[in-house]
Amino acid sequence: MPHGWKSSWWLAVGILASATVVIATELLTPRAQWPSWPTLALNVGAFGAVAAIAFAATARFALSIALAGVLYELLVISNRLKLRYLGAPVHPADLFTVANVRYVHLFSTPVMILMGVVGAAMLVALVSLLRLGAARVRFTSRLACAGGGTPFLAVLVFAGRSPQFLEELRAAGVAAFTPNPVTELELDGLLLGLLLHVGDVFVAVPPYYDAANVRRVIEELAPIGAQPPRTAAISPVNLAIFVVEAMMDPADLGLRFTSDPMPFLADLRRRYSSGCVISPEIGGRSANPEFEIFSGLAMYFLPRESVPYMT
């Protein structure tokens, strides 16, 4: 078979394998809304790009598809677990808190052992694939795989930086940066949603965002002849608010413990006034009550479905 025909055949098989894995997984995922075909195509392209980069590094087709598939299914499982227990889909920023899973009862010793056995079996399978002979492809073909997969992923990662590109994606049916992350997951698919939000991890400080410019703005807006406000004298703090989404008292679940799991909090409750409040929003929209607490403003006066920290 001529080299060109062989390369085209491998490319067709790779696209078919990527489409099968992604579309089958998305179709098996319970959802209220289905992504559009252009959105599914972008998810397939993202999977194929990862597999292409792996193929460029290993020159082993089966191993590349297996690596991409394993990583993808791990993301799918993690996403299902987070939706079930936290009501929100996975986000690139979760990498900074992945160590917290050891506190979840789901990851008990038997479960961890089972996961270790499954992981070892997958590792053995991958090693077996790695021992298969490498495909006889030219270096330029491997370079083309890397040169095609990497820019494709980079474009999706940096799409959020370009309002014009985001509008093009929305016109194609992509629900990028919607107020409800669960809805966005259903409409965008897992891979596309993750790639579009990679930029959220890197928050840049806006220009002129410092104390000197704040004082300058206050002086410019102050009435003529008025004295700029001065910092009030420091007085003893009698109220401290901790807005911590991940903290809860296990005793609220009706469980019994041999010792208090939160002795410091229990001591504060005994010594000072305490009580419970109900948050009007949960999951991906918990930023709204935080906005009300910090600013003193009410969400009632903002447009419906607003999420202030995103707008």
pLDDT tens for residues 238-290? 777 777 777 778 877 888 888 888 888 888 888 888 877 788 777 667 788 88
For residue 273, the enclosing domain spans 238-310
| Segment 178-188 mean pLDDT | 82
State the pLDDT at residue 9.
59
- Is 12 contained in some domain? yes
Q: Residue 36: CB partners within 8 Å, gap ≥ 6?
A: 172, 173, 174, 187
| Segment 138-157 mean pLDDT | 84
State the pLDDT at residue 196.
87
254 and 185 in a common domain: no
Domain boundary among 175, 201, 227: 201
159 and 248 in a common domain: no
- Is 220 contained in some domain? no
126 pLDDT higher than 70? no
Residue predicted with more confidence, 40 or 59:
40
158 and 266 in a common domain: no
- Is 259 contained in some domain? yes
Domain boundary among 179, 201, 223: 201
pLDDT tens for residues 196-232? 888 877 777 777 778 888 888 877 877 766 666 666 6
Q: Residue 101: CB partners within 8 Å, gap ≥ 6?
A: 107
Q: How many domains does one find in the chain?
A: 2
State the pLDDT at residue 2.
43
Max CA distance (Å), the chain? 87
- Is 45 contained in some domain? yes
CA atoms within 13 A on the CB side of 79: 23
Share of the chain above pLDDT 70, in %: 78
CB 123 within 8 A of CB 66: no
Q: What angle do CA 22, 89, 82 make, to 5 degrees?
A: 105
Least confident interval from 98-112, 142-156, 245-259: 98-112
State the pLDDT at residue 244.
75
Domain boundary among 143, 175, 201: 201
CB 51 within 8 A of CB 21: no
State the pLDDT at residue 113.
73
pTM for the full model? 0.62
What are the Cα distances from residue 40, in Å, to 45, 173, 188? 9, 10, 8
The first and second tokens of residue 155, run together, are 């474009």
